[in-house]
């Protein structure tokens, strides 16, 4: 017997009777305490869990200012946690991947300082997991390194570009608009601006993929395979301030030269970002009906 039934037991009233007899306040209690009995669709029942496959992270001493990669992606995709809950898996630290892709509704692969061609066990395991997700038609989005990993794992190729560094805010043109590209009208001339920080890029697509956005520096800036896999070379999760922080750090440690540094800082002054729009695209893509 439930507490409300006990309270009204002398009247021989069940929970259903309470509702039928219009005991409004108590009905509110019933709905709040026993929502599952009535199959109420609340936020928690519609939330999907997405595995965030971390291939790097913000330096710990900078996380107080910028947050972690998990914070950046969660706050960008769904800060209210009403639809998407990102569960971090620190691949680059050796944390094990799920035994089966079906463990989560989908996956997002982060960027990394490593290359997809590096001979590291966690990268080997990640590439195989991507193949498993493709076979099982489990939805996946790759960002920067993650974008390259998807292509590399499935028969394409990523390598260090002869054009050198892409660093700063870069414009990219959508060539093939998709139905899940919400707020598209906010773009100017089909162009979006994102932070980019990369030397590697996809130079050959897997046979089942097509390019849907490009620019002069990175011809395969956004790639897609049906509604299963999406790759984005830019960083919608990065703010201009975080890009500046990374540029200053790399310049101070002689990881980029003066020209790359100056061009990156100048781009931050000249261009605004469309990160919120691209993050909305990612969210819409993850929430598409299952392709199983």
Average pLDDT along the chain: 88
Residue 291 pLDDT grade (very low, low, confident, very high; cuts 50, 70, 90): low
Q: Is the pLDDT of residue 99 over 90?
A: yes
Residue 13 pLDDT grade (very low, low, confident, very high; cuts 50, 70, 90): very low
Residue 6 pLDDT grade (very low, low, confident, very high; cuts 50, 70, 90): very low
* Predicted local confidence at residue 281, as pLDDT: 98
Residue 27 pLDDT grade (very low, low, confident, very high; cuts 50, 70, 90): very low
> What are the residues whose beta carbons fall under 8 Å from the beta carbon of 11, sequence distance 6 or more?
none
Query: Do residues 151 and 157 make contact, with C-beta atoms less than 8 angstroms apart?
Result: yes
Domain-wise residue ranges, the chain: 3-38, 43-286
* Predicted local confidence at residue 188, as pLDDT: 86
Q: What is the pTM of this model?
A: 0.84
Residue 96 pLDDT grade (very low, low, confident, very high; cuts 50, 70, 90): very high
Helix (H, G, I), strand (E, B) or coil at 75: helix
> What's the whole-number mean pLDDT along residues 57-62?
96
- The enclosing H or E element of 183 equals none
> What's the whole-number mean pLDDT along residues 33-41?
36
Q: Is the pLDDT of residue 25 over 70?
A: no
> What's the whole-number mean pLDDT along residues 233-254?
98
Q: How far is CA 275 from CA 142, 172, 192, 282, in A?
A: 15, 12, 8, 10
Q: What percentage of the chain reaches a pLDDT higher than 90? A: 82
Count other Cβ atoms within 10 Å, centred on residue 234: 31
Burial class (CB in 10 A: 0-12, 13-18, 19+), 114: middle
Task: List, for residues 108-153, the tens digit of each pLDDT value.
Answer: 999 999 999 999 999 999 999 999 999 999 999 999 999 999 999 9
Tokens describing residue 200 = 């590697």
Q: How far is CA 175 from CA 154, 222, 275, in A?
A: 23, 10, 18
Q: Is the pLDDT of residue 35 over 50?
A: no
* Predicted local confidence at residue 78, as pLDDT: 96
* Predicted local confidence at residue 24, as pLDDT: 37
* Predicted local confidence at residue 292, as pLDDT: 62
Of 172, 176, 124, nearest to 152 (Cα)? 124
> What's the whole-number mean pLDDT along residues 81-95?
96
Return the CATH number of the domain spanning residue range 43-286: 3.40.50.880
């Amino acid at each position: 017997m439930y507490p409300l039934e006990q309270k009204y037991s002398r009247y021989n009233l069940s929970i259903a009777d309470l509702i039928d007899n219009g005991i409004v306040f108590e009905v509110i209690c019933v709905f709040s305490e026993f929502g599952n009995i009535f199959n109420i669709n609340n936020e928690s029942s519609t939330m999907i869990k997405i595995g965030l496959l971390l291939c790097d992270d913000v330096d710990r001493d900078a996380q107080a200012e910028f947050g972690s990669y998990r914070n950046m992606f969660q706050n960008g995709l769904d800060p209210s946690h009403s639809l998407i809950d990102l569960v971090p898996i620190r691949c680059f630290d050796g944390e094990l991947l799920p035994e089966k892709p079906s463990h989560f509704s989908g996956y997002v692969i982060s960027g990394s300082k490593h290359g997809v061609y590096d001979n590291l066990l966690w990268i080997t395991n990640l590439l195989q997991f991507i193949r498993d997700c493709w076979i099982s038609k489990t939805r996946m989005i790759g960002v920067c390194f993650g974008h390259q990993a998807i292509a590399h794992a499935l028969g394409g190729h990523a390598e260090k570009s002869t054009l050198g560094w892409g660093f700063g805010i870069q414009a990219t043109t959508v060539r093939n608009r998709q139905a899940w590209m919400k707020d598209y009208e906010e773009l100017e001339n089909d162009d979006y601006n994102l932070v980019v920080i990369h030397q590697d890029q996809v130079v050959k697509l897997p046979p089942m993929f097509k390019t849907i956005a490009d620019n002069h520096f990175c011809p395969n800036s956004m790639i897609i395979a049906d509604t299963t896999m999406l790759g984005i070379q830019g960083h919608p999760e990065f703010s201009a301030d975080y890009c500046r922080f990374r540029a200053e750090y790399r310049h101070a440690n002689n990881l980029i030269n003066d020209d790359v540094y100056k061009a990156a800082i100048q781009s931050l002054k000249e261009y605004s970002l469309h990160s919120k729009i691209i993050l909305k695209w990612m969210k819409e893509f993850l929430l598409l009906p299952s392709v199983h």
